[in-house]
Structure 1
Amino acid sequence: MSEVDRQRSARPRHSALFVPAGNERALSRALERGADVVILDLEDATAPEAKIAAREAAARFLTRRERTDTVEVVLRVNGIGTPFAGDDLAMAARCAPDAVLLPKVEGEVALETAARMLDEQRRSADLSLWAMIETPLGIARAVDIAMAGNEAAMRLDCLVAGTNDLMKETGVAPSPGRAFLTPWLMQVVLAARSAGLDVLDGVYNDFADRAGFEAECAAGRAMGFDGKTVIHPAQIEPANVAFGIDPQARAEAEAIVAAFASPQNAGRGVIALDGRMVERLHLEAAERLLARARLVDRKDNR
C-alpha cells in the first residue's frame, strides 16, 4: 500500500472533454455531453489575441453553472510565466472551478507558484490542482512533481499526459500502439500512483476513427490510466465504456465490503474470502470503487 497520506479521488474520470473556453456554443452544451470531466481550455485552444475574451466567457460559464457531483469542471489556464497566468488564476479563485489544470509542468516551482497565487485571493481553499506532463523535462521529473504536489499546500489531485506536445518536443512520430511513447506514459502512471493521484491518458486526434480510439483506450486502461482526455463528443461514450467499472470488479468489491462488515471479522486486518487472503488495503480499494460506481450510477440516471 502507498505510504502517501492522500487517497485517490472516488470521482469517476473516465472521460475528460477539452472545450475551447471562447466557444460559447460548445460551452452551452458541454455539461450535457456525458463526460465525467469538462476542461475549459484557455491555453492551446485559444489564440493569444482571444485570451481575454475566452477568460471572460469561462468566467460567465463558471458563475452560471449549477454545481454537480457527477460532472467536474476544470479550468486549463495558461502556463506559469506567461503574461496570462496571473489573470487566469485570479479568475479561477473568483469563479471556483472544481480544479485548475496547469500546462507543461516541469517541476514543483509551477505548483508552488500557482498555489501561492490562488491563496493570495483568499477564496480558493477548495480548489485542487491538476498538472499536465507533456515535455521531456516533465517526464524526467514526473515522480518529483507528483510527490511534491502531494503536500497539502500544493493540493495536486491528478496528472494528465499531454501526448501531442510530448511528440512535438521530442520528435517522436505517431505510430500504431504508441510504441515509442508507451515507456514515457508508464512513467506518468508510476508517478501518479507513487503519490496517490489519478492519471489521465492523452488525446486521440482522429475523432472519426472510432476503432483506433477504442484500441488506444483499451491500451490506456491496461497501462493503468483512470481515463482519457478527449477532443470531440463522439469520443466520450467509448471512453466511458473502456475505463468504466467492470461488473465483475464491482461484484468482487461488494463481496469484500460485506465480508469485512461481518461481525465475525470485526477488527481483523486480514480475512479469507473465496479461497484467497484479503487485506484492509483491498477493503479501502473496494470502498473507493463502490463510491465511484455510485457516482456513475447517479450520472447515468440523471
Structure 2
Amino acid sequence: MINISRPRRSVLYMPGANTRALEKAKILAADSLILDLEDAVAPDAKVAARQNILEALQTGFGHREAVVRINGLNTPWGLDDLKAFANSKADAIVLPKVESATQVQEVAKVLKESNARPDLTIWAMIETPKAIFKLEEISGSHPLLEALVLGTSDLVKDLHGKHTPSRVETQTALSLSILAARAFGLCVLDGVHLSLDDEVGLKQSCIQGRDMGFDGKTLIHPSQIAFANETFGPSTEEVAEAQERITAYEAAIKSGAGIAVLNGKLIEELHIQDAKRILALANAIQSFG
C-alpha cells in the first residue's frame, strides 16, 4: 500500500534544553525534527526544556514536521510531558523504549482523555532486545501508531556489542523492524550515525539503510542532513524511469498484454506499485520542500 503523507528522509534530534538549537531548526533542511526531552536533557533541565519546546511550537517550524520525544511514562516527567503536548502544535509524540503494545495504548488513552487532536500520532522507539521480540505486538498496537524509530545506540549497549562499519551487530534488529513496519503499514526510521567527523561512514550507513528499506534516517547533527536527503530521496533518473515504467505498462495493458518490456526488462504490476511509490515520494518532497 502506498501511503506517503510526507517525506521523512532526514529526521534530526534537537535537544529541548537548547533554545538556540530550537531556533536554528526553523531554517534547517531536515524533513522532520524530534524535539527531545529524554536522553538529550539532564534531569534538572527537563521541566524548563518542556516549556522551551511548547514555546517553539507556537511559532512553528515551517514545512518541517515537529515531533516531541517525551520521557517514558514510568519516569517523574513522562505523564506531564504527554499531557502538555496533547493539545500543542506537535505533529506526533515519540515514546522512548517501547517494549509492549500496552505502552502505546496507554499513551493513546491519555491523548484521548486530554482531547488531543485526532491527527496527533504516536511514534515508537525500538531500542531494546525485548522490543525486537515484541515487534509484531507493538506494530499492531493502536491506529494512532505511525512510525517505528530505531534507537541503535541503546540497542548496541544492551547487546554488549560494538558499533561496526557494517552494522553487523544490529542487522537482525534492523531487518525485523522493517518487516514489522511494512506488515502494518508504518513508517520506519533508521538509527543515528554517531561519528560526526566520519563522512564516509555516514554515507555507508545511509546507503545501507535505504537499500534495506528504511524510509529515512535519524540524525544528531545538521551537517548530516544533506546526505540523508540525497540518499533517501529518489534521483531525477529514478523519477523518470518510474514514469516510463508506468507509461509502458499502461500501454501494454491497453493492448491486452499483461506485462510490458522496457529497456530489455520485464515490467509487471509489482514494478508499477514501486514506481508509484517513488513518484508519490517525489511529489511529497516537492510539496513540503
TM-score > 0.5 by shorter chain: yes
2:219 maps to which residue? Answer: 230
CA-atom RMSD in angstroms: 2.3
Cα pair 2:233 2:281 within 8 Å, conserved: no
Tell me by how many angstroms 1:58 deviates: 0.5
Give the secondary-structure state (helix, strand or coil) at the position aligned to 1:40: strand
Q: Find 1:276's aligned residue among 261, 266, 285.
A: 266
CA drift of 1:72 comes to 1.0
Matched, 1:187 2:167: no
Contact map agreement 1:147 1:194 (CA 8 A) in 2: no
2:79 to 67, 78, 86: 86
Sequence identity, in percent? 41
**Equivalent runs, 1:1-302 vs 2, <5 Å:** 7-65=2-60, 67-68=62-63, 71-149=64-142, 152=143, 155-258=144-247, 265=254, 271-274=259-262, 276-279=266-269, 282-300=271-289
Listed as ranges, the gaps of 5+ residues in structure 2 are none
Q: Which runs of 5+ in 1 are unaligned?
A: none
Closer/same/farther in 2, CA of residues 269 and 112 from structure 1, 3 Å limit = farther
Deviation, 1:224, is 1.4
CA distance, structure 1, for counterparts of residue 257 and residue 147 of structure 2: 30
- How far apart, CA to CA, are the structure 1 residues paired with 2:175 and 2:160? 19
CA contact (8 A) 2:4 2:280 kept: no
Partner secondary structure for residue 159 of structure 1: strand
1:282 CA displacement: 4.7
Structure 1 residue 176 displacement after superposition = 2.3
What amino acid is aligned across from residue 193 of structure 2 in structure 1? Y
SS of residue paired to 2:50: helix
Distance 1:80 1:273 in 2: 55
Task: State how far apart, in whole Å, the 2-side matches of 1:263 and 1:181 are.
Answer: 43
State the secondary structure of the residue aligned to 1:129.
strand
| Paired positions, count | 287
C-alpha distance in 2, partners of 1:89/1:9?
A: 26
Tell me the CA shift for residue 261 of structure 1.
6.4
Compared CA separation, residues 133 and 289, structure 1 to 2 (3 A): same
Q: Give the letter aligned to residue 15 of structure 1.
A: S
1:97 and 1:253 map into 2 onto residues whose CA distance is: 34
Partner-residue secondary structure (3-state), 2:223: helix
Give structure 1 regions of 4+ aligned residues with deviation exceeding 6 angstroms.
260-264
